[in-house]
Amino acid sequence: MDFVNELRKRGKRITNAREVVCKILETSGHKHFTVEELHKLSLKKDKNIDLATVYRTLELLENINLIEHSHQVHGSGLYFVKDVHSNIHIVCESCGDISDLDIKTSKKVNDLLTSRTNFREITNHFVYSGYCKKCK
């Protein structure tokens, strides 16, 4: 998806900094980034991009439903392009590897929560953590 084009369609101003952040996200696949990681990558393209601009760009992209974020227990939020992947993540506390729970497992978790709480259309912005096979 062309994030910059989506922003233009919505009448949003396109700055070089926004364009840089958008291009990084667009070409990342389903990689997960902290704001600090995105800022560091952005600085490689334009040394004038400040951290506040990255935060504002991410907030804007999330408000128009192009990206999502999840909260880690110990650490920064993780931002990623919204797509068909599961929105339930698990992070290795040792090496930092991030995995998406498969759709089947994600559905089981949501079905369990739905049956126990009578809530519908359950979403979350939290990340499970533990230790991957490599780090056991």
89-124 per-position pLDDT tens digit: 888 889 888 888 887 888 888 889 999 998 887 777
- Does 12 lie in the same domain as 39? yes
Domain of 65, in residue numbers: 3-81
- What CA–CA distance (Å, rounded) separates 63 from 26? 16
pTM here? 0.74
- Does 102 lie in the same domain as 59? no
For residues 99, 104, 105 and 111, what is the CA-based torsion angle, rounded to 10 degrees? 140
Residues 6+ apart with CB under 8 A from 110: 122
- Does 77 lie in the same domain as 14? yes
- Does 75 lie in the same domain as 28? yes
- What CA–CA distance (Å, rounded) separates 105 from 44? 38
21-60 per-position pLDDT tens digit: 999 999 988 788 989 999 999 999 999 999 999 999 999 9
